[in-house]
Structure 1
Amino acid sequence: MSLNSIFQYFVPKDKKTFFPLFEQAASNVVAMSTVLVEAVNSNNPATREELFRQIDKLENKGDELTHQVYLELGKNFITPFDREDIHTLATAIDDIADYIHGAANRMNLYKIDDYNEHIKKLSELILQAANDLEKAVRELKDLRNVRAIADSCIRINSVENQADYVFDRAVADLFLYETDAIRLIKYKEILSALETATDMCEDAANVMESILIKNA
């Protein structure tokens, strides 16, 4: 066997490994975010419950994709970029899914039937960040397109800043106007999970920006 043949054996088949898995994981987060927005804007309890079940199934799918990335890391000797960055990006995308799922779970378990403007706005911001995340991830396989990836990351950072403001305003309103302590705790936990989902989007964007710098 020639040296070239040996080298080719260790080079990952990118079209069948990391990049498609990242793209599927990012698309899965968009799907979860879309269903979340539908759920918080629905006035039908049965419809909401079904949408929450969909989020649960999508979160399981995300876990499977993340696990597959970890398996591929163990199988491939040479990777398209740093192994640590691949692991960190996969984990960051999975964390977004986890917090969306966590927020939806709390809404369902706490029997929340009044989704205020703050919950709806944070859900919309998560979807906005998820869409930009998907755009950036799809460009990763061609690192020459630095501008497109960087622009998406900048937009994600902007969304996270907006989410911080919405969260702070929402919590302030809770302490000002909510007189039921249990209800206050329920809403604060839901709002916190939603806001953290945008933090995780920013973390994923930071990983991609790091990849750009290392591969410039």
Structure 2
Amino acid sequence: MSLNSLISWLKPREFVFFDLLEASADNLTEAARFFTSEFKSRQTPGEWVAMRRKMKDFEHAGDEITHQIVDRLNRTFVTPIEREDILHLAHALDDVVDCLDGVCERMILYKITHVMPLAIELGKLMQAGAEELRPLIGHLRNLSDEKTISRRILSCNELENQADAVFHAALAEIFENPKDPIELIKWKEILALLEDATDRIELVSKVVGSTVMRNA
């Protein structure tokens, strides 16, 4: 028996890490779909409160999954993939939901009554990226399908590039004719959170990509 075969035989199959990462990706996907469906052109303060309450449920669920992953990492000697990758993925997935929760929080605090069309477009790109992540995270169980994995990573990258373009267009719009500097500051912060969410989605795809390269 070769050394690699012996290591493979001795290595415990801690598939629970895959279960937890997939659960976190599921939570993110549901949160992204909910966010986009509710992020309409006009909302009353009461509707923003209800949206934030539901988003807080997603945020708490993500935190709980991340806590379980960290706790199990602390009690596991050998992991199916690098423990740093597991931790990085867990926090990055959770961070996207945190960004969406932060947007909802600011919609209430800033008493927003009209949503920029470009912000809605940014939300749609964020959702598309989140939906690419769920099957991508699922591929961690079997890293042999490199072609499909590469395609999904490329898709996440392309969506992030599109989100960057929309983000910059939205900034240009609010700075072009700034009638109210306070509104400008509000929207600059909201747009930055949405753009940060797409950045973190791309980060998750890159971590999966590096994991594939190391384990190919």
Structure-1-length-normalised TM-score: 0.91
Corresponding residue for 2:116? Answer: 116
Aligned-residue offset at 1:142: 1.0
Tell me if the contact between 2:129 and 2:201 (Cα under 8 Å) persists in the aligned partners.
yes
Q: Which amino acid aligns with 1:142?
A: N
Tell me if the contact between 1:39 and 1:52 (Cα under 8 Å) persists in the aligned partners.
no
What does 1:84-103 correspond to in 2, within 5 Å? 84-103=84-103
Aligned-residue offset at 1:214: 0.2
Greater CA drift, 159-168 or 101-110:
101-110
Once the two structures are superposed, residues 161-195 of structure 1 have per-residue CA deviations (whole angstroms, 9 ceiling, x without a partner) of: 01110011101110112310101100110000000
Q: Distance in 1 between matches of 2:43 and 2:193?
A: 23
What does 1:1-216 correspond to in 2, within 5 Å? 11-14=12-15, 17-41=16-40, 43-45=42-44, 46-216=46-216
**Structure 2: segments with no counterpart, 5+ residues:** 1-7
CA distance 1:109–1:9, shift in 2 (3 Å) = farther
How many residue pairs get aligned? The number is: 208
Q: Distance in 2 between matches of 1:162 and 1:29?
A: 20
Q: Distance in 2 between matches of 1:190 and 1:134?
A: 25
Greater CA drift, 100-109 or 155-164:
100-109
Q: Distance in 2 between matches of 1:161 and 1:48?
A: 29
Q: Distance in 2 between matches of 1:127 and 1:108?
A: 21
Aligned-residue offset at 1:138: 1.2
Report the 3-state secondary structure (helix = DSSP H, G, I; strand = E; otherwise coil) of the residue aligned with 1:143. coil
Percent sequence identity is 35
Q: Distance in 2 between matches of 1:198 and 1:68?
A: 25
**Structure 1: segments with no counterpart, 5+ residues:** 1-6
Q: Distance in 2 between matches of 1:51 and 1:151?
A: 34
Q: Distance in 1 between matches of 2:147 and 2:109?
A: 43
Q: Distance in 2 between matches of 1:116 and 1:150?
A: 33
CA distance 1:167–1:196, shift in 2 (3 Å) = same
Aligned-residue offset at 1:42: 6.3
Structure-2-length-normalised TM-score: 0.91
RMSD between aligned residues? 1.7
Once the two structures are superposed, residues 8-28 of structure 1 have per-residue CA deviations (whole angstroms, 9 ceiling, x without a partner) of: 8971441xx101101110011
Q: Which amino acid aligns with 1:25?
A: S
Aligned-residue offset at 1:113: 1.1
Once the two structures are superposed, residues 24-77 of structure 1 have per-residue CA deviations (whole angstroms, 9 ceiling, x without a partner) of: 100111111111112212645244432221111100110110111111111111
